[in-house]
A and B are shown apart, each in its own frame.
Chain A
């Protein structure tokens, strides 16, 4: 049995490394497309963490929505404008560098202070059965308001895109 624990542990660190490497690539690469791939890798790593925590549904949704839809939309947006040789301008110098370091340090300190003060209670072995029924019932009964608010955001986005596209394409082939 101890071997399984090692495997699970190894997987956990693998997903962590994946997440951090992807995030680093997303922030540091000069090509926008590389940044998107980094983002996709990072989100895949997070999906892996969900899987490791036992929520397959969340992991699957993470891949389906973030990698399968959001990253592809971003990539498509980039493809409309850039070519592979177009490097982003380096503007991390002078005052920008100071501001970047300052804001990063501030966020880090704020998070560190909060985390060090919080007493983490060990999680219960398993709160729900994590099955799709459990998720569905919770979303539609206990967290109904949040669920409806999120759907409102989506509705706004849909209406916005319809308004943007209402004019149609002038001169397009009918």
Chain B
């Protein structure tokens, strides 16, 4: 049993990371699905789902079963292999960024010294998935949706990265753990401009209203996932919810001090409570503005990014660098 002892801890850690990732992805999809429908209902002075379970708590379980049993319709003129591949390209990478996020002092897959870049790199694969989905559907609405998604994502990645870079310059590290540890004062206080820019870019990067031009249902039916049904549609939805979770995690790590909060017993593990509270605060914000504001026009969206957010974030970065190096 000598060998078993020598490799067991690492193996156990791998298994825990895989199971934990799956729990976060699917649990988050369930919580967010319910939260979004319930909140949307209340914002519009309705009640939201009420029938299944207490206040509709089991609605998402029922919906999941429905989605799994639905037929997967592939349009006759679609590119079949790519059509089936697109949801997988979208969904498969969302597990990876969860590995580097410091949920608490002890709950983290592994700490990369390029943690932030890792998260951004994995996030950029999602754009490819949207593009492939739009193209493979062979449908004008899907194609336009995909085009818009790409233009939007590529544009908003720049101010997003620049606003985060200001904080990287302050802390001298890309590691998410390092950034959490460097925060004696939450960076939302020291970098309010970067926070607001990040908040706007966060909404645009996850393709959600008021920036959900990629799936604007009033003009493009449903954008890039017009032709998707059943499980392939729900894979896109789960990928979207997990991406929301990840950008909220990054916001928490960079601006709200990660796990910091009122100390609890066993804080190296229970810090996750504060972390998740902050994350779901951001998620609530995303849902809140989705159901409050109308959709912007596409040129307004692009102008906002290139003419306002990009220069402001550059100036912010410059000021930060000067102040840090003084």
Contacts and interface: CB of A to CB of B under 8 A. Distances in A.
A120 to B, nearest CB: 29
Contact of A68 (B11, B82, B125, B135): B125
Interface residues of B, number: 35
Given A4-B10, A34-B82, A68-B128, A56 B135 contact: no
Interface string B136-156: 101000010011001000100
Contacts of B78: 84
B57 interface: no
B128 to A, nearest CB: 6
A63 B121 contact: yes
Contacts of A71: 128
Contacts of B132: 33, 37, 75
B6 interface: yes
**Interface band, chain A:** 20 to 34
A165 to B, nearest CB: 13
Interface in A33-79: 33-34, 37, 40, 56-57, 60-61, 63-64, 67-69, 71-72, 75-76, 78-79
B7 A31 contact: no
B325 interface: no
Given A3-B7, A56-B112, A56-B114, A68 B131 contact: no
Given A71-B128, A72-B154, A79 B135 contact: yes
A63 B147 contact: no
A67 B196 CA distance: 29
Interface string B21-57: 0000000000000000000000000000000000000
B120 A76 contact: no
Interface of B: 3, 6-7, 10-11, 77-79, 81-82, 85, 112-114, 117-118, 120-122, 124-125, 127-128, 131-132, 134-136, 138, 143, 146-147, 150, 154, 174
